[in-house]
Amino acid sequence: QQQVGGNLAQVLDNIEFTVRERVRIKGEINTLTSQARVSGWILTGLPFALAGILTLTAPTYFNPMFTNLVGQIMLGMCGFSMLIGYLIIRKIVNIEV
């Protein structure tokens, strides 16, 4: 402290204020983006739930998606595009402080 001539107490107070402010802002951001996070989960999980319900209630209706090569390719492409969409939503919602 004597060599650089700074006020150590003031520096520590500024650091404390900055850390507290970042924690407060991070909590506020989490609150404001919670709806978008839940929407991402629902949009990602809903097609799987619907496919499960269709498989249980009407197996002959959804069965060609599993047994036919074209259906399997379509399911794979749908799963891949849903994964990409979920990652994009997550990237949009994840705000760095």
| Segment 76-89, tens digit of pLDDT | 999 999 999 999 98
Domain extents in the chain:
8-93
Is the confidence at residue 95, as pLDDT, over 90? no
Structure token digits, residue 65: 């998606």
Judge whether residue 1 has pLDDT over 70. Answer: no
Q: Model confidence at 7, in pLDDT bands (50, 70, 90)?
A: confident
Tokens representing 76 are 């794979």
Report how far residue 48's alpha carbon sits from residue 72's, in angstroms, rounded to the nearest whole number.
14
Give the C-alpha distances (Å, rounded to integers) separating 75 from 20, 24, 41, 45. 47, 43, 19, 14
Q: What is the DSSP letter of 3?
A: T
pTM: 0.68
| Amino acid occupying residue 53 | I
